[in-house]
Chain A
Amino acid sequence: MTRRVVITGIGVRAPGGKGTKEFWSLLTDGRTATREVSFFDASGFRSRVAGEVDFRPEDEGLTPRQVRRMDRATQFAVACTQEAVADSGLAFGDVDPHRIGVVLGSAVAAATSLENEYLVMSDRGREWLVDPEHLSPYMFDYLTPGAMSAEVAWAAGAEGPVTLVSDGCTSGIDAVGHAVQLIQDGGAEVVVAGAADTPVTPIVVACFDAIKATTKRNDDPEHASRPFDATRDGFVLAEGAAMFVLEEYAAARARGAQVYAEVTGYATRCNAYHMTGLKKDGREMAEAIRSALDASRIAPETVDYVNAHGSGTRQNDRHETAAFKRSLKEHAYAVPVSSIKSMVGHSLGAIGSIEIAASALAIRHNVVPPTANLHHADPECDLDYVPLTAREQRVDTVLTVGSGFGGFQSAMVLRAPEGGDR
């Protein structure tokens, strides 16, 4: 019989606030946290709006030495790990370290540090290489970012399986999905899983400028992330992280843990179509959704809330809407669908985990977060996208989805814990 997996701890660092509480309050208020890029002079760039996190490593208990060696995304992941571990109430010291695993997700990993190192070693781009011995001693950890998951493992005392999943913008769902499989298969009892990305850095902004995937609503940054709205013009690049403590269900119950939600289904598919393009029919995302519902042994009608990918690019919003209709049938028109990217932007690999956090909190509080900035839906996007205002309603079952470069399409189903112990 399959072992069941539950979420017992959550940590979030997202634009607009520190920690899970402030994150949830932002979402339920329908406030937006996108702003003009402040981390560097973005005047030469096409898109100058971002979801930035006011993150202070010293407030997270990180020592100067840790800050020196850790990329910004790693610092986010460690801060969220500390919050999630404390939130879980699990005495990690009492768990066999061999039975604790880590699955971290990240799309561009140590991009911030890579760019900083590049500037030093190239004399701001003037040379191929100033001096081959002039690199930071931590450069190796930015070249190949296993160090990110290593830092999380050290923070959690994990000595079981530890890895980094890097599936582009579905990394945050996939990391949690891999962690669930690990516990189901008996490879670990407790897994610290989630994702972090800090891509608000010139090279990444330039990447998306080049393909016009990001918004150019530069004169109105607070309202630039407009999923499903007819006036949307691309996504808002953001940073953030969310980490979870996942446990085997019976063990979590036995210790009397608070349970946010059970992860009852996870599936991922590839569209095998194009590295950045999406077909209009949503076929592969629909297949991932069907598979995740099947694993949960539920019908589409059971889904109370769909946490959309909703990036705010025209092709995504239409692709995704088609996928919901294809997989949920008539229920697609009845179920509330919303995109929190309208408020916190699109933090690439991290956002899938941040959206899992939002989904778990929706179950905990019986509230559906809204899609901010949605005033006039694209006529081709004709579902109930919960415009502007959060909705209080019973939420027992949430479907959350992600879509990303490389063709990845992922879906996860979260359900309220049995026995109504929320």
Chain B
Amino acid sequence: MTVTTVVTGLGVAAPNGLGRDAYWKAVLAGHSGIGRVTRFDVSRYPSRLAGQIDDFDPSEHLPGRLLPQTDHSTRLAYAAADWALDDAQVGAGDLRDYDMGVVTANALGGFDFTHREFRKLWSRGPEYVSVYESFAWFYAVNTGQISIRHKMRGPSAALVAEQAGGLDALGHARRTVRRGTPLVVAGGVDSALDPWGYASQLSGGMVTTATDPLRAYLPFDAAASGHVPGEGGALLVLEDASSARARGVGRVYGELAGHAATFDPAPDSGRPPALGRAAAGALADAGLGPADIDVVFADGAGTPHLDAAEAEAIGSLFGAGAVPVTAPKSLTGRLYGGGGPLDVVCALLAIRDGVIPPTHGVSEVPDAYGLDVVRGEPRERPVRTALVLARGRRGFNSAVVVRAAGD
């Protein structure tokens, strides 16, 4: 007997909206969260844009004692987990402590916090380093803090795979559900918008130097010149469908029906890249064929050679122009471990409302890509299934299939 894994709660912290509803409204209306970096003087940087979350007041969402212990990214994750569990109407005592786990992706750790501690160490001395640094920094921090907050003592983990890690976290959470843990909070939230973190993100060589926030990150556009980094992400509540029914869950966003991950061959091997194989693997895992998929939420790197490679992967699987493709992340920037889960949220809301959000800002897609990129206005049509793709720097590929509940 195979366990069906459903999504019962969504928690969103995105540059263009805090909370599920604010984010979804912004996505459909084309409100961008990308702007000039305001946390420090960015004038000497070759790039100056980011998807920043500016309207988050941590003291509204965290107990005061946690404020000195947590990085900005962890505070966002903490709030997003609260929202997701509220959304899923998980009450205290609904489930045993060992029946709930937490699996997050985290590509950056508590970087801003850590930058300050590095500085204290090297400018003042070891005795000035915070007693919280040992756990505010490491990649497991969000998983640990969420588990403590909600007394979740089941199997838990933290994964790192740059932008692909968020979908891997959902995949691992689904495996955890199938192996007998009825509820897992899963997804990812990342941030590193301090001076060093931002410079480090630029060092990857993939960030655009464009200055117009609305025309800076243009996945699949002929004018694509790189991406804009952002902060935030999403946490989802994944549940065993029968357990969710047993606790009287009224609304299910959809089923996490398939997942697969692959890795590109070594750069000098001459072997083909592996994104298409991840997509095909996720479809097979879901028991679906390409014709069953209503929309693809693309990785949308926004760098021409990577866009071309993704177009090739999608085209080979679906045929030229055969499936609508979209990348709403043009409004948020790339969110590392948070990117994939936020796209999955978007896909589930597309299923709920029967509307495909567009890739805002994109106007001209090269014919050679052979892609039906959804542009301009949202496209209203029934959506039953969606494929979500993510790639991580150095060769990670991950794919998730979601479908309407009961399909």
Q: Is the CB of A144 within 8 A of B266?
A: no
Which of the four size classes fits the interface of chain B? Answer: 35 or more
Q: Is the CB of B121 within 8 A of A164?
A: no
Q: Is the CB of B134 within 8 A of A207?
A: yes
Q: Is the CB of A135 within 8 A of B134?
A: no
Known: A119-B122, A129-B199, A269-B153. A178 touches B396 (CB 8 A): no
Is the C-beta of B322 less than 8 angstroms from some C-beta in chain A?
no
Q: Is the CB of A272 within 8 A of B172?
A: no
Known: A153-B395, A202-B121. A159 touches B262 (CB 8 A): yes
Chain A residues closer than 8 Å to B200, beta-carbon distance = 117, 135, 139-140, 142-143
Which of the four size classes fits the interface of chain A? Answer: 35 or more
Measured between alpha carbons, how far is A144 from B160 in the docked complex, in Å? 8
B400 to chain A, nearest CB (A): 13
Q: Is the CB of A143 within 8 A of B161?
A: no
Residues B331-356 near A (CB distance < 8 A): 336
Residues A193-211 near B (CB distance < 8 A): 202-203, 205-211
Measured between alpha carbons, how far is A407 from B200 in the docked complex, in Å? 30
Is the C-beta of B131 less than 8 angstroms from some C-beta in chain A?
yes
Chain B residues closer than 8 Å to A136, beta-carbon distance = 203
* A152-195 vs B, Cβ < 8 Å mask (1 yes, 0 no): 01100111111111111000001000100100010100000000
B69 to chain A, nearest CB (A): 8
Q: Is the CB of B395 within 8 A of A125?
A: no
Residues A245-287 near B (CB distance < 8 A): 267-276, 284, 287
Q: Is the CB of B98 within 8 A of A162?
A: no
Measured between alpha carbons, how far is A287 from B131 in the docked complex, in Å? 30
B276 to chain A, nearest CB (A): 12
Measured between alpha carbons, how far is A270 from B158 in the docked complex, in Å? 12
A122 to chain B, nearest CB (A): 7
Measured between alpha carbons, how far is A181 from B107 in the docked complex, in Å? 23
Q: Is the CB of B203 within 8 A of A140?
A: yes
Q: Is the CB of A406 within 8 A of B203?
A: no
Q: Is the CB of B201 within 8 A of A146?
A: no
Q: Is the CB of A165 within 8 A of B144?
A: no
Max chain B C-beta neighbours (<10 A), residue from A46, A162, A284, A405: A162
A62 to chain B, nearest CB (A): 15
Residues A334-357 near B (CB distance < 8 A): none
Known: A163-B159, A210-B130. A153 touches B197 (CB 8 A): no
Chain A residues closer than 8 Å to B154, beta-carbon distance = 269-270
Max chain B C-beta neighbours (<10 A), residue from A97, A185, A207, A270: A270
Is the C-beta of A115 less than 8 angstroms from some C-beta in chain B?
yes
Which listed residue (A46, A122, A159) contacts B126, Cβ 8 A?
A: A46
Which listed residue (A132, A140, A161, A406) contacts B135, Cβ 8 A?
A: A406
Measured between alpha carbons, how far is A202 from B129 in the docked complex, in Å? 11
Q: Is the CB of A109 within 8 A of B139?
A: yes
Q: Is the CB of A146 within 8 A of B160?
A: yes
Chain A residues closer than 8 Å to B135, beta-carbon distance = 168, 275-276, 405-406
Chain B residues closer than 8 Å to A147, beta-carbon distance = 393-394
Counting from the closest, the 6 A-B pairs by CB-CB distance are: A125-B122, A406-B144, A140-B204, A166-B139, A150-B394, A162-B263
Residue numbers of A with Cβ under 8 A of B are 44-46, 97-98, 102, 107-109, 115, 117-119, 121-122, 124-126, 128-129, 131-133, 135-147, 149-150, 153-154, 157-168, 174, 178, 181, 185, 187, 202-203, 205-211, 213, 267-276, 284, 287, 404-408
